[in-house]
């Protein structure tokens, strides 16, 4: 398992390969279906499997923070490795890469960089400057350079295509049951605990504060959650995702109150799993009213676990 960060890090040892190209944000059930085919081809052709993805996503490069992210590149890579992928090539999507011609991408990345023997993409895949490269160009390139190209099948649940966009909508609407079905697992956010204002301690609800990455997340509000810690295991709690308008917060945070827990965990990494939405985030007229609502939120979350 290897995460290759950037085209300059490609080595001769990364050739040959079988590959798939895509954003793979969330590594949902549709992605998992593609990876299953990719790994079968990897065994058939005796070549390591490689997923080619991008950071930031193309839409984010052209319109920053326009797409709520489901996973960081590290999370994407780990999920792909768990599915059996050998390597993940993360290409820096910057102005230089955006100006690549489709032919240049094929020659420099697929042929010279990875020695691709088989390539799997969506039939609507577009690439290269001004997105002029398409599936037909890839097929022609495959005939020229000697690699097979196939389009992966659409994967559907309840009669609709599974996509990262559909997962985002489910999460934004608080439909965590549908999100679980689309992802094949519960939605999680990973982060490091940082010291906050410690306001929660003054009202009997201390929180572990996780500053979210620069990427926009698809959820906001108060949720029943479980928290996984490397030492303390899986714990129950209630979490708020948002800017904390009552205390004039100005950055997006994930604050988790872990039930019946008082250990020191600053600097530790937590995996927060979202189970059910309790309410939207709102601004209260006073800190006392916020305190009362937090008590109600915690009781609601506890009742869900019981």
For 10-46, how does the pLDDT look when each residue is reduced to its tens digit (9 = 90+)? 999 999 999 999 999 999 999 999 999 999 999 999 9
Q: In angstroms, rounded to a whole number, what is the distance separating the alpha carbons of residues 85 and 179?
A: 23
Residues 87 and 196 reside in one and the same domain: no
Is 117 in contact with 16 (CB distance < 8 Å)?
A: yes
| Three-state DSSP class for residue 103 | helix
* 175 occurs within a structural domain: no
Residues 156 and 200 reside in one and the same domain: no
Q: In angstroms, rounded to a whole number, what is the distance separating the alpha carbons of residues 280 and 220?
A: 7
Residue 261's nearest CA partner among 298, 222, 300, 211 is 298
Residues 191 and 141 reside in one and the same domain: no
Residues 48 and 119 reside in one and the same domain: yes
Digitized pLDDT (tens) for each residue of the chain, 306 residues in all: 999 999 999 999 999 999 999 999 999 999 999 999 999 999 999 999 999 999 998 888 888 878 899 999 999 999 999 999 999 999 999 888 888 898 999 999 999 999 999 999 887 788 888 888 888 999 999 999 999 999 888 889 999 999 999 999 999 999 999 999 999 999 999 988 987 655 555 556 788 998 776 778 899 999 999 999 999 999 999 999 987 645 555 667 899 999 999 888 989 999 999 999 999 988 777 777 878 888 899 999 999 988
Residues 197 and 115 reside in one and the same domain: no
37 Cβ neighbours under 8 A, 6+ residues apart: 120, 152
- For residue 186, give Cα distances in angstroms to 116, 145, 216, 296: 34, 41, 19, 24
Number of H helices, E strands in the chain: 9, 14
Is 98 in contact with 129 (CB distance < 8 Å)?
A: yes
* 170 occurs within a structural domain: no
Q: In angstroms, rounded to a whole number, what is the distance separating the alpha carbons of residues 239 and 210?
A: 11
How confident is the model at residue 35, as a pLDDT?
A: 95
How confident is the model at residue 200, as a pLDDT?
A: 52
Domain that holds residue 286: 186-305
Among 126, 161, 196, residue at a domain's last position? 161
How confident is the model at residue 58, as a pLDDT?
A: 85
Percent of the chain at pLDDT > 70 equals 93
Q: Mean pLDDT score of the chain, rounded to an integer?
A: 89
Residues 32 and 101 reside in one and the same domain: yes
Is 50 in contact with 24 (CB distance < 8 Å)?
A: no
Residues 88 and 199 reside in one and the same domain: no
* 172 occurs within a structural domain: no
The H or E element that residue 52 is part of is strand 49-55
Residues 156 and 191 reside in one and the same domain: no
Q: The tokens of 45 are what? A: 């052709």
* 173 occurs within a structural domain: no
Among 161, 196, 211, residue at a domain's last position? 161
| Three-state DSSP class for residue 159 | coil
* 228 occurs within a structural domain: yes
Residues 149 and 234 reside in one and the same domain: no
Q: In angstroms, rounded to a whole number, what is the distance separating the alpha carbons of residues 108 and 115?
A: 10
pTM (2 d.p.): 0.89
- For residue 220, give Cα distances in angstroms to 68, 148, 185, 243, 306: 11, 43, 20, 9, 24
Burial grade of 243 (CB within 10 A; 0-12, 13-18, 19 or more): middle
Residues 156 and 190 reside in one and the same domain: no
* 73 occurs within a structural domain: yes
How confident is the model at residue 216, as a pLDDT?
A: 85
For 94-103, how does the pLDDT look when each residue is reduced to its tens digit (9 = 90+)? 888 888 898 9
Q: Give the total number of structural domains in the chain.
A: 2
* 153 occurs within a structural domain: yes
Is 116 in contact with 19 (CB distance < 8 Å)?
A: yes
How confident is the model at residue 71, as a pLDDT?
A: 93
**Domain of 137: which CATH number?**
3.40.50.620
**Domain of 230: which CATH number?**
2.40.30.30
Residues 13 and 151 reside in one and the same domain: yes
Among 97, 127, 161, residue at a domain's last position? 161
How confident is the model at residue 198, as a pLDDT?
A: 57
Compute CA 154 distance to the chain's CA centroid, rounded to the nearest angstrom: 20
* 176 occurs within a structural domain: no
């Amino acid at each position: 398992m290897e995460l290759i960060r950037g085209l300059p890090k490609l080595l001769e040892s990364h050739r040959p390969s079988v590959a798939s190209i895509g954003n793979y944000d969330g590594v949902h059930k549709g992605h998992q279906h593609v990876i299953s085919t990719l790994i079968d081809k990897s065994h058939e052709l005796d070549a390591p499997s490689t997923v080619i993805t991008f950071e930031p996503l193309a839409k984010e490069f052209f319109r920053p923070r326009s797409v709520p992210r489901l996973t960081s590149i590290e999370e994407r890579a780990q999920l792909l490795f768990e599915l059996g992928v050998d390597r993940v090539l993360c290409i820096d999507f910057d102005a230089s890469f955006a100006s690549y011609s489709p032919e240049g991408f094929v020659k420099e990345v697929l042929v010279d960089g990875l020695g691709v023997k088989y390539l799997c993409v969506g039939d609507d895949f577009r690439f290269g400057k001004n997105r002029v490269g398409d599936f037909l160009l890839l097929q022609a390139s495959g005939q020229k350079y000697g690699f097979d190209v196939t389009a992966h099948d659409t994967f559907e649940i309840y009669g609709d295509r599974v996509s990262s966009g559909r997962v985002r909508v489910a999460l934004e609407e608080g439909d965590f049951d549908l999100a679980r079905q689309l992802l094949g697992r519960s939605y999680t956010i990973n982060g490091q605990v940082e010291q906050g204002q410690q306001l929660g301690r003054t009202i009997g609800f201390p929180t572990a504060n996780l500053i979210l990455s620069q990427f926009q997340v698809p959820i906001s509000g108060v949720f029943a959650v479980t928290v996984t810690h490397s030492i303390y295991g899986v714990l129950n709690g209630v979490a708020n995702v948002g800017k904390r308008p009552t205390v004039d917060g100005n950055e997006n945070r994930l604050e988790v109150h872990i039930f019946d827990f008082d250990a020191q965990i600053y600097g530790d990494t937590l995996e927060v799993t979202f189970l059910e939405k309790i309410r939207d985030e709102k601004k209260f007229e006073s800190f006392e009213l916020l305190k009362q609502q937090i008590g109600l939120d915690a009781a609601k979350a506890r009742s869900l676990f019981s």
